[in-house]
């Protein structure tokens, strides 16, 4: 038996969550652009009422990841009171319980990799927000777009609850899993793998509990969940738990970043050629779920009590020239290919050398959101790097 959530209960559940948490879910929103026109964008948007959920979209990868919820673009590190002596006051923002629904495995792993980084540096602001956040993921059976490359990025299971859609559209994955399972384990033999005979009347989500936080959440909202004998529903003679274990391993057939260890072997002219169109705008780092570079500076603000100085931390981007500019106007990475190379290398090589995992999780937002569509993964894959630097 597995915990399941009926698709018809999903929106009610999210609204029930919203009474206790700040709930964020992938929602289509209309964003005004020039000339009174609007464009549709899927973003993790706050769920306040049933109206917001009319445009819930679980079919596409939201354009912007959720890193800003833990690591905001502007963070107040502390304030400085200047009277007789200088007094520093640590600022801790008021943080509410947050629940993020509909995260894909790339985004969940991005959070895991940022956890690794920020906990290494004991970043109190980030860790405090993460502690109060619950993550609900949704499994991808198919790639969400043609650019994703998560299959080569060593993703792990992560999150508090994980949902697996079971419907007429996805049932063949369960039969495939059962077939695989029977090959591995003789006691399940004689199952019927003909998925055509089974017609599922409604969509449901199998719920996997991945952490204590997830268990607690499910217990607190138990009335929305039901326990079902999933393999029986599908006419299969296998164990539910083992079936789910195999389904989990059926990762979407995305493309891969080939020879990632050999990126080092690319020459400056290769980098110049892939970044030829680059505008150094920084959208790749801004919409990346893992990029974390920042700047620190002081700002005077006017408050009720007079002027106050704040020390702020803001997002930065290694794609900007200013990023390595030192005194006397000397820029270390003055060429755009050097900056482009640094981003790709940091994401795929440097971080791994230090923390054991590459930073990049293969969501491909840096490619999809790029105004000139630089597909660096496609470029590297076309290069013959077989056997180099590995």
Partner 1 sequence: MKRLQHRNKLMPKPVRVLDKWFEVENNFFLELEVNSCYSVPGQFIQVGLAGVGEAPISIASHGDTLLLNINIVGRVTRMLSKVKPNEYVLVRGPLGKGYPLQSLKGNNLVLIGGGCGVAPLAAVLDYVCKNRQDFESVKCFFGFKSPDQVIFKKQIKHWAELVSINISVDKDLKLKQELKQLQDIERFINFEGFVTQALEQSFLTNNNIVAFICGPPIMMKHAVKVLKSKGFKDEQIFLSMERLMYCGIGYCCHCMINDLYTCIDGPVFRLDVLRSRPESGFE
List interacting residues with partner 1 (CB under 8 A): 77-78, 80, 82, 85-88, 90, 117, 120-124, 292-300, 309, 311, 313, 316, 318, 323-328, 332-333, 338, 342, 345-346, 349-350, 353-354
Residue holding tokens 């680059």? Answer: 278
Which CB atom, from 21 or from 126, has the smaller least distance to partner 1? Answer: 126
CB-based contact 69:45 (threshold 8 Å):
no
Which CB atom, from 142 or from 295, has the smaller least distance to partner 1? Answer: 295
Which CB atom, from 96 or from 295, has the smaller least distance to partner 1? Answer: 295
> How is residue 205 written in tokens?
């989500």
- C-alpha distances (whole Å) from 309 to each of 114, 316, 344 are 29, 21, 36
Per-residue burial over 296-333, b if 16 or more Cβ lie within 10 Å, else e, is eeeeeeeeeeeebebbbbebbbbbbeebeeeeeeeeeb
- By DSSP bridging, strand 74-82 and strand 306-315 are antiparallel
Q: How far is the CB of 380 from partner 1 (least distance, A)?
A: 18
Q: How far is the CB of 117 from partner 1 (least distance, A)?
A: 6
Distance, CA of 199 to CA of 237 (rounded, Å): 17
Which CB atom, from 255 or from 343, has the smaller least distance to partner 1? Answer: 343
Q: How far is the CB of 312 from partner 1 (least distance, A)?
A: 10
Which CB atom, from 35 or from 329, has the smaller least distance to partner 1? Answer: 329
Task: Return the ∠ at Cα 168 (arms to 166 and 170), rounded to 5°.
Answer: 50
Phi-psi region of 139 (alpha: psi -120 to 50; beta: other; left: phi over 0): beta
Which CB atom, from 335 or from 375, has the smaller least distance to partner 1? Answer: 335
Q: How far is the CB of 345 from partner 1 (least distance, A)?
A: 7
Q: How far is the CB of 111 from partner 1 (least distance, A)?
A: 16
Q: How far is the CB of 261 from partner 1 (least distance, A)?
A: 13
Closest Cα to residue 230, out of 244, 217, 219?
Answer: 244
């Amino acid at each position: 038996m597995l915990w399941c959530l009926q698709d018809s209960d999903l929106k009610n559940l999210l609204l029930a969550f919203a009474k206790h948490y700040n709930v964020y879910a992938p929602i289509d929103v209309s964003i005004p652009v020039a000339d009174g026109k609007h464009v549709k964008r899927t973003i993790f948007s706050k769920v306040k009422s049933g109206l917001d959920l009319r445009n819930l979209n679980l079919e596409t990868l939201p354009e912007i990841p959720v890193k800003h919820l833990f690591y905001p673009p502007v963070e107040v590190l502390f304030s400085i009171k200047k009277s007789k002596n200088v007094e520093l006051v640590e600022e801790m923002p008021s943080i509410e319980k947050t629940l993020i629904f509909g995260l894909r495995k790339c985004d969940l792993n991005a959070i895991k990799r940022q956890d690794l980084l920020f906990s290494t540096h004991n970043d109190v602001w980030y860790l405090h927000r993460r502690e109060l956040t619950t993550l609900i993921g949704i499994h991808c059976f198919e790639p969400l777009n043609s650019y994703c490359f998560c299959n080569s990025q060593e993703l792990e299971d992560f999150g508090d609850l994980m949902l697996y859609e079971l419907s007429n559209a996805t049932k063949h994955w369960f039969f495939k899993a059962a077939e695989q399972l029977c090959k591995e384990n003789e006691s399940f033999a004689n199952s019927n793998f003909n998925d055509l005979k089974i017609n599922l009347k409604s969509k449901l989500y199998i719920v996997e509990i991945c952490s204590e936080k997830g268990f607690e959440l499910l217990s607190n909202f138990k009335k929305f969940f039901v326990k079902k004998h999933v393999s029986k529903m599908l006419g299969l003679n296998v164990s539910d738990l083992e079936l789910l274990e195999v389904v989990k391993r059926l990762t979407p057939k995305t493309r891969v970043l080939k020879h990632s260890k050999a990126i080092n072997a690319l020459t400056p002219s290769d980098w110049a050629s892939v970044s030829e169109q680059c505008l150094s705008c920084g959208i790749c780092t801004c919409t990346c779920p893992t990029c974390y570079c920042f700047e620190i500076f002081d700002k005077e603000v006017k408050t009720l009590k007079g002027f106050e100085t704040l020390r702020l931390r803001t997002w930065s981007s290694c794609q900007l020239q200013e990023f390595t500019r030192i005194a006397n106007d000397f820029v270390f990475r003055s060429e755009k290919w050097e900056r482009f190379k640094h981003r790709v290398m940091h994401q795929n090589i440097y971080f791994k050398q230090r923390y054991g995992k590459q930073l990049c999780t293969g969501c491909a937002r840096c490619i999809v959101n790029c105004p000139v569509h630089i597909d660096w993964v496609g470029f590297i894959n076309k290069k013959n790097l077989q056997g180099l630097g590995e």
